[in-house]
Amino acid sequence: MSNFLHILSTAVSTEQLTIILIVTASVFAIFILIAVVKMYKLKAENKKLMETNAFENDLDETYKDFTGGHLYGDN
């Protein structure tokens, strides 16, 4: 009988459980909000970088034919 009373005294009440769940949900909501804000900032930075010519400089190289090598017997 003593064990049963000890278990009942350490049980979490409904109010305590509700507070714990609200705090946990709030923490996760803050993390999700931070992630969404970072996503929009990265999208804006990516759009700005794509509008500049820095990315296009890498694409200006002409195509080089590599099929004339010795592996294809085309010497």
- Give the residue extent of every domain in the chain: 17-53
pTM (two decimals):
0.54
Q: Which residues contact 68 (CB under 8 A, 6 or more apart)?
A: 74
Q: What is the pLDDT of residues 4-63, one digit of tens each?
A: 666 656 677 888 889 999 999 999 999 999 999 999 999 999 988 888 866 565 555 677
